[in-house]
Chains A and B, each alone.
Chain A
């Protein structure tokens, strides 16, 4: 057996989160038109400004064309064949966990996210989102003591409409791109975080997204605001059952960091990737952007992308405030017929702004893994610096790794440095580990994990090992 064959085998493993929860769901009829948007807004009891926001976005969306520049080939989504709102049948939102359908609690427990008071993770507050709605948020009271707001976006819309009106759509405008416009028109739920001035959020915040219905598009919306001198670390996780149709997930995430504030946003994305032949799986078309509005503010994205049939996203930083910092750490592992086109945009506007990009792509099977990035230095961004490092690892001779780093500079007092490499697992390293008695499978897993270590180091402690396990799981298999 050749090396690449064996490695191929061990990167293929069954998806463990493919089960479906049997639960009665309330769905609105398929299709999208103005009435559907009014219906979603009415179901959620939204204030008038938000309905207008949705309708404006819908109007823009109608004028836009689905983008095709990425070279990703996928069967086009029939937007009239999707359900835009699905919710487990229960009253809008329960006051306490006891009232939540036990089936839902069980679902999240199976996913490793226990929500009940006895079992819930210590030091991590979780907002659990099931299809279109948030079903529970833990540790709300404890967070409230510090003035931290952590709740579903629907709740925030009714409880804190002023904050929503002030910030929503200011980082990702409703007409930013085709999918962002669609999201702005029909978003169902998501998470909201507000950290008041001077507060260091006392625990990790986490949202867990679960798609359950096969024909439902998931359009969640996350908004995080960090006031002056505050800080927060937030993590999202995602899984979905196995369907042989493609499910669309078009989320929008907006982050706002004011003076001296810091936001760390981590993603562990493990949506269903489709089967070995590429049938089914999630289309993960997400717009994520953070604005460092304040001086010395910092936004740091880390992502571990292992799932989805197609991932198409570029978590970005707009570095407006002087001395602000943007970071992007990414691991993208693709296998079988998966396609990932991901990267970041670092837009340097303020003086002395700094950005760092570390991207590790691993492609196996017939998958296609692309890094696409933009580093742009505007004429006023004196003293700005960027460092980017993009490494790709290929496993097997049918996988492809593409790198498109785009650099644009209009400021001489700026330094931009980009390095990239593409390689396969080194035979010498593999032999060295094996010659110490470590078996082939574990050696490969160690080398992949070592290849990704720069990024693991950036994940919150609680999740670094989870992410490592996830990669190991993807690499786990049946080597005889």
Chain B
């Protein structure tokens, strides 16, 4: 079937706009109608596998309002868990002390603002979500509270789900957020997460995104606005998706903030995983430390596209970006494209990119100590992953992602 037909059918299949996201839904649908399907002419979609995107859009979006029967590992004692059920009003959940639902007014004041300020309101991924999200999880962490939270979003077999989250973290608060996205057979999920960090906020954000089953796909957009003296660290793993597109967009609104991003994406068979990141500094003395790692084996394709924008008002910015890629097979492919745009003169920006296979000398060293090839390779890969996964909270280990990451290589 033609892409445009699939696209049109997807739009037609959406329920009528309704509820408190009605306005958002119309904005998204209107844009998609006017803009049409992304094409190779859109620089941000040029390398995207469109037949996979078509699969994504071919899945039905209407979901019965029944509970999901997935089994998850037990929750941590000190970390409240929220499981997001599509189409189910997320107000009936237990919230830990210091975390509250946003009231109507707060939602009106903030929803869509961060997407706008990170300049992605015309982005196709965002509009796909706006057009189809029916419910919103809107929370705030109250001033000076220090909390942990786990948000689990499972996919549903044979269905396409769309979720939207708005998170407001008030001045001086600390949040340790662990977010788990899981796939299912022949499933699609689309997330839009807006987070606002007020001044002096510290947010540690672990994002574990595991496709797991057959033909699962995920599009996840993260729009983060940081106020001054806030600290944001984002550690992500993407693995097992047939098709995944991950778009973290972070803006340091007033400068004077620090951002740490460590991302790992691992592909095998015919999978395609793409990360499109954007970090913009809108004030002085901002800091960024970004590391993106990718491993592509078999017939798979890893993409990284990383923009850093340092306008004139962002003097004394210090930004470092490193893209490290392992290409493990002759049929696999890596594309990496850092984009640095700098106008301020008193800045220190560095970036680097490498594409290689595992280092021969390191491998030889291990072999020479009697370790067999397979084992040596997996040891080295584990070391390679460690730079990202060591930053995730220890308890995240129960999601078994390390085992999953290692499984690929044992084959």
Contact = CB atoms under 8 A, between A and B. Distances in A.
B312 interface: yes
A480 to B, nearest CB: 22
A397 B340 CA distance: 16
B142 interface: no
Nearest to A422: B349
Given A402-B340, A405-B337, A395 B345 contact: yes
Contacts of A4: 345
A422 B340 contact: yes
B328 A404 contact: no
B315 A404 contact: no
B341 A400 contact: yes
Interface stretch (B189-197, B225-233, B352-360): B352-360
Interface in A433-465: none
Interface in B347-372: 347-357
B9 interface: no
B332 A417 contact: no
Contacts of B347: 394, 422-424
B343 A413 contact: no
A414 B348 contact: no
B343 A398 contact: yes
B379 interface: no
Interface in A388-428: 392, 394-424
A394 B331 CA distance: 41
B76 interface: no
Contact of A404 (B312, B333, B339, B355): B339
Nearest to A394: B345
Interface string B305-346: 000000010010000000001011111111111111111111
Contacts of B344: 394, 397
Contact of B355 (A396, A414, A419): A414
A412 B345 contact: no
A283 B349 CA distance: 30
A202 interface: no
Interface residues of B, number: 35
Given A379-B330, A405-B353, A420 B336 contact: no
Contacts of B353: 405, 407, 416-418
Nearest to A396: B345
Nearest to B357: A412
Given A409-B334, A422-B348, A416 B341 contact: no
A356 B101 CA distance: 56
Nearest to A385: B356
B345 A397 contact: yes
A427 to B, nearest CB: 10
A404 B343 CA distance: 15
B51 to A, nearest CB: 19
Contact of A398 (B312, B315, B329, B336): B312
Contacts of B332: 410, 412
B342 A392 contact: yes
Contact of A405 (B338, B350, B356): B338
A419 B349 CA distance: 11
Given A397-B315, A398-B343, A402-B341, A423 B348 contact: yes
Nearest to B310: A422
Nearest to B359: A415
A406 B337 contact: yes
A421 B349 contact: yes
Interface in A69-103: 69
Q: Counting chain B CB atoms within 10 Å of each CB, which of A377, A400, A412 scores highest? A: A412
Contacts of A424: 345-347
Contacts of A415: 354-356
A392 B356 CA distance: 25
B342 to A, nearest CB: 5
Given A403-B351, A412-B357, A394 B335 contact: no
A409 B333 contact: yes
B354 A403 contact: no
A420 B344 CA distance: 17
Contacts of B325: 409
Contacts of B345: 4, 394-397, 399, 424
B330 A420 contact: no
B335 A397 contact: no
A419 B338 CA distance: 11
B339 A403 contact: yes
A312 B141 CA distance: 50
Nearest to A406: B337
A225 B336 CA distance: 34
Contacts of A395: 345
A268 B312 CA distance: 31
A406 B331 CA distance: 19
Given A379-B330, A413-B357, A420 B350 contact: yes
B272 to A, nearest CB: 14
A422 B333 contact: no
B395 to A, nearest CB: 35
Contacts of A399: 343, 345
Contacts of A420: 338, 340, 350-352
Contact of B333 (A392, A406, A410, A423): A410
Contact of A407 (B335, B339, B349, B357): B335
B352 A403 contact: no
A11 to B, nearest CB: 12
A4 B329 CA distance: 49
Contact of B343 (A397, A406, A416): A397
Given A404-B339, A406-B337, A411-B327, A397 B352 contact: no
Contacts of B350: 419-422
Contacts of B330: 379, 410-412
A466 B338 CA distance: 34
A408 B305 CA distance: 12
Contacts of B356: 414-417
A407 B352 contact: no
A423 B346 CA distance: 7
Given A419-B352, A422-B347, A408 B340 contact: no
A413 B359 CA distance: 10
Nearest to B336: A407
Contact of A412 (B315, B328, B346): B328
A65 to B, nearest CB: 12
B297 to A, nearest CB: 9
Given A399-B345, A420-B350, A407 B327 contact: no
Contacts of A401: 340, 342
A408 B333 contact: yes
Nearest to B313: A397
B342 A400 contact: yes
A407 B338 CA distance: 9
Contact of A402 (B327, B339, B346): B339
Nearest to A423: B348
A465 to B, nearest CB: 29
Interface in A363-405: 377, 379, 392, 394-405
Given A379-B330, A412-B330, A422-B349, A407 B355 contact: yes
15 contacts: A379-B331, A394-B347, A400-B342, A403-B339, A405-B353, A407-B334, A409-B355, A410-B333, A410-B334, A411-B327, A412-B357, A414-B327, A417-B353, A420-B338, A422-B347
Query: Top 5 A-B pairs ranked by shortest CB distance?
Result: A394-B345, A418-B353, A416-B355, A400-B343, A422-B349
Given A408-B334, A419-B350, 15 more contacts: A377-B355, A394-B345, A396-B345, A397-B315, A397-B344, A401-B342, A403-B340, A410-B327, A412-B329, A420-B340, A421-B348, A421-B349, A421-B350, A421-B351, A424-B347
